[in-house]
Structure 1
């Protein structure tokens, strides 16, 4: 389908005219379908013949199967088209949903109801001429229906057959046997027409319900065609490749990209990465690197590429060899379940336990920063033991992202573990994330640099750098001691809002109207000097 642009375009054009048949059938089966729902089913059935012709005589087994499985339901399509008007109302009991000519009895009732206005006008004109009153009126109200109205000046001209029904200040109202007889016929015909329309609607809905199985199979094939053309169009537009599927638990992705970020990020900015996980070589990938470098994105894109390949889609990569996975396990993100009394770490361990107890050699596992929700030593110990368990017991293809650099030493004892890291460029005390996965382990997490990018006050970052140096100096052994802060501050930081800088008060109180340009420049210079080295900036 990726090679036939006209096929994709024609399918999209035809599918735009197709409604969600499965949802409509659900309303039919529960007795909630409206006339408009039946009309949408009818419109869909009318689109099936040309749509079915589009996929006829195709080499693809899926397209040929779709052609064979789509049921045109010609008898139902004809019934719905001949019975329902083009613009059906929402409510069946309001009438106006059945075409003229579909039912003779309904046509007669409609003619009688529609002819009532003309008859009333002719009757008014005839009576006015007969009794010689030009301003005679025929009206209607809900109390006693149609009536004749004569002004007080002309009430003496009322014939004997006029039966007085109501007296007003300036007029008298009358009824006649002829008027009442026709009124009964007109009013009852409208009610009878609506009741008959509702009965015909129920018959049509019953026909749709009887064909529900055939329509459901057709709806499944329409959905399949929609998915196939959408995936093919995406593959062509984004340059996806056709993956090679194998039974062996291998994973070889060249130039892999995240299918969502590849679209949402500006063109050319997303960095592709390779992935190789082979049981005969290395199938446990330990990824280290700083925050914001792209570790989580990388392991998620590998899982998504595997999933897309197994569902029959092309994948966002230059080339891909994907071994079929029996299941894909993911332990990413941080969340808690307060309603169940479970902390973030408890949720993390519960999900990890499920993976360790159910994964097999044919599974794909992605784990993101396991153990971060507890103390450092506990976290490292758990992560270490989990990696060993996966390597020795599960032997599954695994991507394990972590900030625990101690885990990289496992490559010395575990044969199928390889260290990867996200490359970073340091320049003038700044960090540039290259988002490229390379071999080897990272030696820093650059957490302080990330805090700086996030807008953490400079004094906090400087203090963190100072403490980090003391911790690294004490890492070799002995007691860890951290000196108290070397600078005092009269400003106390608030938990909920930032303290206003004292300089803002001086600026607010300055009278600019009484300053010369030179005085203003001198004052600005003074303020600038006072801000140099200020812990707020």
Structure 2
């Protein structure tokens, strides 16, 4: 094999360390990819595949992207599940001896994105680290784009807590200890439900001693007890493993993680992935959009930090009435004081994304405009903070105290950076005049070289008496003094002759030569000096990271409280009472999302009362489309809203703390795991019964409908009996069903109450009144609903005929197609005609009510086969 070129030898040495990454190899103004990386990237990014001579017979496959617009290409590769290693030139190619030195400065992965162009400003980009040991887990979750890191350790025998926590954070990337590979069910959950990138790290990356050292070093502590981690070894290992991975991939910038949030899963309401999706908290089930969700209704935030925090609040309702009460106090104060609320919201509008701008500054990939934008954001803090002076609620007072005005940083940025800086440092003129005397002198050479030369020319004319003396420039000799032949006798002795012309002579002087050197190098020197001053400014700002992070957090909290207050005012919400009574009382509650989507219509309000005694389970009957699911979801959302510290859509509400909301709504096959509709339904019911407590709220819709009528009814009844039994579960439950036979349970089991959706029937027409009333429904109205759905009239009429026959106990007559009447002779019946056919005999054996739809279809095919014999 022919010897590789020196550059390609360097490429292969670097690629060997990054076999699993697409290597973006910097060559001049492009990031180039070679060989397999090039073939892959050309296909995924639709780039032209070319070749490059590399010292061998065949040219190396190659493709590339411009370095200044690489982010869009990287984002596309990351979205497709690839990881990208950025290999940068570490020295100036003009000064390099031999091959330019290159190093990988960062590996970009789904969970380590910091570029704002690749991120949703209203959503965190989390990466999680998992360290298991038996039935215990250590979990660490970080967003390096905002500097957040959260950690917990918990016992979890059935993995339900871990699933809930991962669902809550929704990480885009997960790394884990090799022992986690034994958790096959969790692997399926991550792959099929979370759909995120996952990678097994080396065991030594989770070594406790090394993890402890990294954690203490990261947070500047001498002992784990200072971080309350001394009794949480698995949490320490999870954090340590994550820090090690981030150091490996990001090379620098891990310093951005300055404060640790150590939490307990018992702080937050249990919400599994199914409940989050069914309640459509942050995205709709059908389209995955924000519009049509609870977050869409509540989010009136003015800052990117607030948008991310309000999403977290919606995703993690609290369990402490005291903390919830303090949030409600803050919202109430802003709600009551319209002038305060409007002023706060107006001033929040001038504050940009301090968290992610700070990340770019710490990582060193910020532009001059980023720093100027950051300066403008913190310059708005004093006016915002002054609004909170004299506020009474505890959380608003805390925000006032935590919000640093950062005037020293704003002042330095204002003095250092021009008002409208260029996009990059290479464009120059980033640093403001007067910030550095040395830079001003150098810059004056760049901007005032003509004035300098004119001054020398004027001075030399006066000194020599040569009136037509002039200073010129060419690329061969540089700057020169030109004197005509008639004035050569006046030339001073310190002039040095450089060129003879037909019209005169050209000279240089030491002063002119020195000025020429300074002018020619001034631009380059100016860029170097500006780069150094900009670096010093970045380091100065980074040195105040903790102050800035705490202030950004305070701004985000204020933004969320103001958003809740604004939503309450605009939508007519009321402050709920939240306590530990175990009673849920909602007067005239409304669905927060549906009422916003009504086009000019008025939402019909409904009430709810559930307790631990006589009113534990509400069985709700009524036709489809009448509003049962809407009512149940609205009740769950009102409870959730109260526990995030938000006002609620009701005339009044008193919420006894709910420790978890569990839902079984809708049904679909799980094709990924080969599970039928019924199996999915039963799995979800099993999970609910296993994890719910008497303080949970259960939303169960049509349990048992995925199988035959009798089987389904039996399962539904058994589930209700189990839930209503205070010794077994006793959870507050809303149970919607079409099995009217279940309404008899109200008379036999304490705690069960019947309700139905009121309807009005006019002939074959049905009107939904959307009102929940006591008692069971007397009819299903299925045929009427079918008519509303657009089923043809002929089918509707036939359905009523069949229904009448069934209700009267008469056999259902076959509807014969209209055929020409046969001759009378052929109508004569014989004795043989009275013998039952095989099909009739088989039909008599079938118990229709015990068949599932699939079994019924199978029997129908079998009967058709009889007819062909």
TM-score by length of 2: 0.49
Report how far residue 226 of structure 1 moved: 0.9
1:98 aligns with 2:431: yes
**2:814 match:** 483
For residue 280 of structure 1, the aligned residue among 571, 588, 613 is 613
Structure 1 pair 123–253 and aligned structure 2 pair: CA distance change class (3 A): same
Cα deviations by residue, 1:52-72 (Å, 9 ceiling, x for unpaired): 111111111111111111122
Partner residue, 1:449? 784
Q: What does residue 341 of structure 2 align with?
A: 8
What corresponds to 1:328 in structure 2? 661
Match of 1:423 in 2: 758
Aligned to 2:718: 385
Measured after TM superposition, the shift of residue 162 of structure 1 is 5.3
Instruction: Give matches, 1:91-490, under 5 Å.
Output: 91-116=424-449, 161=498, 184-266=517-599, 269-392=602-725, 393-474=728-809, 483-484=814-815, 486=817
| CA-based RMSD | 3.4
* Equivalent-residue separation in structure 1 for 2:366 and 2:597 (angstroms): 39
Give the 3 Å change call, closer, same or farther, for CA 108–424 of structure 1 in structure 2.
same
Pair 115,438 (structure 1): closer, same or farther in 2 beyond 3 Å: same
Change over 3 Å in CA distance of 1:189–1:404 after alignment to 2: farther
Q: How does 1:16-31 map to 2 (within 5 A)?
A: 16-31=349-364
Moved more, 1-10 or 364-373: 364-373
Q: Deviations over 1:447-484 (max 9, x none)?
A: 3323322223223333333333344445x9xxx75625
Cα distance in structure 1, aligned partners of 2:750 and 2:477: 96
The answer (yes or no) to whether the contact 1:93–1:195 under 8 Å persists in 2 is no
SS of the residue 2:421 aligns to: coil
Q: Contact 2:802–2:812 at 8 Å: present in 1 too?
A: no
Residues 160-190 of structure 1: CA distance to partner in whole angstroms, max 9, x if unpaired? 94599xxxxxxxxxx9978997665334221
Distance 1:227 1:486 in 2: 67
Other-structure match for 1:84: 417
Q: Structure 2 vs 1, CA of residues 319 and 118 (structure 1 numbering), >3 Å: closer, same or farther?
A: same
CA distance in 2, matches of 1:121, 1:44: 44
Moved more, 75-84 or 294-303: 75-84
Deviation string, structure 1 residues 487-527 (Cα, Å, up to 9, x no partner):
68xxxxxxxxxxxxxxxxxxxxxxxxxxxxxxxxxxxxxxx
With over 3 angstroms needed to count, the CA separation of the structure-2 counterparts of 1:92 and 1:473, relative to structure 1, is farther
Q: How far, CA to CA, are the matches of 1:428 and 1:63 in structure 2? A: 60
Post-superposition shift, 1:253? 0.6
Contact residue 120 and residue 138 of structure 1 kept, 8 A: no
Distance change in 2, residues 1:184/1:426 (3 Å): farther
C-alpha deviations, 1:26-55, integer Å up to 9, x for none? 333444333333222222211111211111
Shift of 1:437: 0.6
Cα 1:482–1:252 change in 2 (3 A) is: farther
Q: Which ranges of 4 or more aligned residues in structure 1 deviate by more than 4 Å?
A: 117-126, 136-140, 144-148, 160-164, 175-184, 484-488
Distance 2:756 2:500 in 1: 102
- CA drift of 1:203 comes to 2.1
Which range moved further: 403-412 or 413-422? Answer: 403-412
Decide whether the 8 Å contact of 1:106 with 1:196 is kept in 2.
yes
Query: Deviations 1:128-176 (Å, cap 9, x if unpaired)?
Result: xx999x9x99788xxx89899xxxxxxxxxxx94599xxxxxxxxxx99
Q: How many positions carry a matched residue from both structures?
A: 458
Other structure's SS at 1:394 match: coil
The answer to whether the 8 A contact 1:257-1:316 is kept is yes
Q: Give a deviation string over 1:70-124, Cα, whole Å, max 9, x none.
A: 1223322222222122233333443332211112222122211112456689999
Question: Which of 353, 362, 380 pairs up with 1:47?
Answer: 380
* Alpha carbons of structure 1 residues 147 and 82: separation in structure 2 relative to 1, 3 Å: closer
SS of structure 2 residue aligned to 1:374? coil
**Structure 1 residue 73 corresponds to structure 2 residue 422:** no
Instruction: Please tell me whether the aligned partners of residues 124 and 137 of structure 1 are also in contact (alpha carbons under 8 angstroms).
Output: no
Q: Which moved more, 1:437-446 or 1:330-339?
A: 330-339
Correspondence list, 1:484-499, <5 A: 484=815, 486=817
Offset from partner CA, 1:278-327 (integer Å, 9 cap, x none) = 22221211111111111111111111111111122111111111101111
Please give the secondary structure, in 1, of the residue aligned with 2:642: helix
Query: For residues 780 and 559 of structure 2, what CA distance do their matches in structure 1 show?
Result: 45
CA 1:72 to 1:468, structure 2 compared with 1: closer, same or farther past 3 Å? Answer: same
**In structure 2, do the counterparts of structure 1 residues 359 and 108 end up closer, same or farther at CA, with 3 Å as the change threshold?**
same
- Aligned equivalents of 1:207, 1:41: Cα separation in 2: 13
Between 1 and 2, higher relative CO (CA 8 Å, sep ≥ 6) is seen in 1
User: 2:640 and 2:670 mapped to 1: Cα distance?
Assistant: 27
Distance 1:297 1:228 in 2: 27
Q: Secondary structure at the match of 2:687?
A: helix
Q: 1:43 to 1:440 in 2, by over 3 A?
A: same
Larger radius of gyration: 1
Q: Could you list the runs of 5+ residues in structure 1 that have no partner in the other structure?
A: 149-159, 165-174, 489-537
Task: Flag the 1:105–1:444 CA change in 2: closer, same or farther, 3 A.
Answer: farther
Say whether 1:60 aligns with 2:393: yes
Alignment gaps of 5+ in structure 2 = 1-332, 460-465, 481-496, 820-869
